[in-house]
Structure 1
Amino acid sequence: MKIGILGLGLIGGSLGYDLRSQGHYVLGVSRRDSTCQRAIALGSIDEASCNLSLLAAADIVFICTPIGLIVPQFKQLINHLSAATIVTDVGSVKAPIVKALAPLWENFVGGHPMAGTTDSGIEAAQRNLFVGRPYVLTPDATTPTTAIAILEEIVRSLGANIYYCQPEQHDRAVSWISHLPVMVSGSLIAACMGETDPQVLQLAKNLASTGFRDTSRVGGGNPELGVMMAQYNRQALLRSLQQYRHNLDEFINLIEQENWAALEQKFQSNQKVRPEFVE
């Protein structure tokens, strides 16, 4: 099968590695010729161009651009495709994308692989990135079952675990476990930098270890991605942030009141439920 990838960054490049290993012929499109050439040299794709017309030969196309470019790039892309071509995306927000694109293309299936790193670009792409990771598909009632089945087969070949849900359900869920952590992690870094004593601040930097590294990782990642999360999943993210602020206020009140027993109960409850999310 010929598979097109529009956007040769971390996700697009990683898809290319794995799809080629499955025997597919991979066509890649990027805005920069240097990225195209690098992707070929690395072995991520078979053929590349800055021209969308290259994807006319694809049986299925993965749109792997930043969220804000998915809709405008899609509208240009469909001028080059046959009606039978299946198109999917990998955006971390689904409702606005599906709402915009599903009416324009019968064989569109919204998607979101829950995999990645804080690094970006074709150099960050890696093999087997999706193995054991969730991959969400958000078809609607009018999506052809054949398109869903073909995409599902490809996703399963990546070693990913498939989940189906409505776009709005996806956005509410990821606001809790993906987008909120980015904002919380970012605010942690900003709060630390608010230390006014330069000696104390430098000491904190010197002492920072695994706890700070783990909790600050996503907040110190790609700034563009963080803004896109907030911009395109604004309503769900605000709801999550407000709930988080409420819980943070509860912790503040317990510490102010020196209510150590209640604080311990909070931590015990957290210890109990955390494995339901990460194990």
Structure 2
Amino acid sequence: MNIGILGLGLIGGSLGLDLRSQGYHVLGVSRRESTCERAVALGSVDEASVDISLLAKAEVVFICTPIGLIIPTFKQLIAHLPSNTVITDVGSVKAPIVNAIAPLWANFIGGHPMAGTADSGIEAAMRNLFKNKPYVLTPLASTPTATMTVVEKIVRDLGATLHHCSPEDHDRAVSWISHLPVMVSASLIAACMSETDQNLLQLAQKFASSGFRDTSRVGGGNPELGVMMARYNRTALLNSLQQYRHNLDKLMNLIEQEDWAALEQQLQSNQKARPEFVDGC
């Protein structure tokens, strides 16, 4: 099977590496010729071009561009594809993408691999990025069964853990466990940088270790991705941020009141709840 990848960054490049290892013939398209050449050299794709018409040979196409480019890129892409081509995407927001594309292309299914690193670009591509990671598909009632079956098989071939839900439920769920952490992590970095005593700031920077590294990682990642999360999942993210602020205020009040027993109870509750989200971590 020929699989097309439109957008050869971290996700697109990593998809290519794993799909080629599974025996698929991978066609890649990027805006830059240098990226195309590098993708071939790294083994992410069999063929690559800046010309989107290369993907006319693909039976399945993954759109792996930044969120804001998925819909306009799709509109350029379909001029080159037969109507039976299966199209999916990897955007971290689903409702606006699915609502825009599904009425125009019957064989479309929204997708979101819950995997990544703080790095970006084709040089960041890595094997087994999706192995044992959640991969969410967001079919509609109108999505053809054959389309779902094709994409489900590819996802399983990646070694990912397959999930299904509606686009709207996806967006509300990821606002809690993906988009909110980015904003909270970003605010942590900004708060630390607001220290006006340069000596203290330098000491904090020298002392920073695993705790700060873990909690600041996603907030120090790709700024474009963070903006796209906020822009395209605005309502759900604002709801999550408001609830986070409410819980932060509760913790502040307990500390102000020196209610150590209540604080310990809350922290114990958090300790028990965490494995429900990240079992084994």
Q: 1:180: Cα distance to partner?
A: 0.1
Q: State whether structure 2 residue 204 is matched by structure 1 residue 204.
A: yes
Cross-structure match for 1:100: 100
Q: State whether structure 2 residue 110 is matched by structure 1 residue 110.
A: yes
- 3-state SS of 1:110 partner: strand
CA deviation vs aligned residue, 1:41-98 (integer Å, no higher than 9, x gap): 0111000000110000100000000000000000000000001100000000000000
The gaps in structure 1 that reach 5 residues or longer are none
Q: 1:153: Cα distance to partner?
A: 0.5
CA RMSD of aligned residues (A): 0.3
1 CA distance for matches of 2:178 and 2:151? 24
Cross-structure match for 2:5: 5
Q: 1:14: Cα distance to partner?
A: 0.4
Cross-structure match for 1:139: 139
- 3-state SS of 2:277 partner: helix
Q: 1:266: Cα distance to partner?
A: 0.5
- 3-state SS of 2:211 partner: helix
In structure 1, give the amino acid aligned to 2:233: N
The two structures have a TM-score, normalised by structure 1, of: 1.00
- 3-state SS of 1:79 partner: helix
Q: State whether structure 2 residue 178 is matched by structure 1 residue 178.
A: yes
Runs of 4+ in 1 over 3 A off after TM superposition: none
Q: 1:239: Cα distance to partner?
A: 0.1
Q: 1:148: Cα distance to partner?
A: 0.3
In structure 2, give the amino acid aligned to 1:22: Q
2 CA distance for matches of 1:2 and 1:197? 58
Task: Report 1:68-87 matches (<5 A).
Answer: 68-87=68-87
Cross-structure match for 1:254: 254
Cross-structure match for 1:213: 213
CA deviation vs aligned residue, 1:189-233 (integer Å, no higher than 9, x gap): 000000010000000000000000000000000000000000000
2 CA distance for matches of 1:203 and 1:17? 42
- 3-state SS of 1:106 partner: coil
2 CA distance for matches of 1:193 and 1:61? 43
1 CA distance for matches of 2:43 and 2:154? 19
In structure 2, give the amino acid aligned to 1:92: S
Q: 1:129: Cα distance to partner?
A: 0.6
The two structures have a TM-score, normalised by structure 2, of: 0.99
Q: 1:38: Cα distance to partner?
A: 0.2
Q: 1:106: Cα distance to partner?
A: 0.2
2 CA distance for matches of 1:257 and 1:24? 62
In structure 2, give the amino acid aligned to 1:104: L
Q: 1:149: Cα distance to partner?
A: 0.3
CA deviation vs aligned residue, 1:110-151 (integer Å, no higher than 9, x gap): 000000000000000000111000000001011100010011
Cross-structure match for 2:232: 232
CA deviation vs aligned residue, 1:14-56 (integer Å, no higher than 9, x gap): 0000110111110000000000000000111000000110000
Cross-structure match for 2:19: 19
Q: State whether structure 2 residue 30 is matched by structure 1 residue 30.
A: yes
In structure 1, give the amino acid aligned to 2:173: A
Question: Aligned residue pairs: how many?
Answer: 279
Q: Percent identity?
A: 76
Cross-structure match for 2:125: 125
Q: 1:255: Cα distance to partner?
A: 0.4
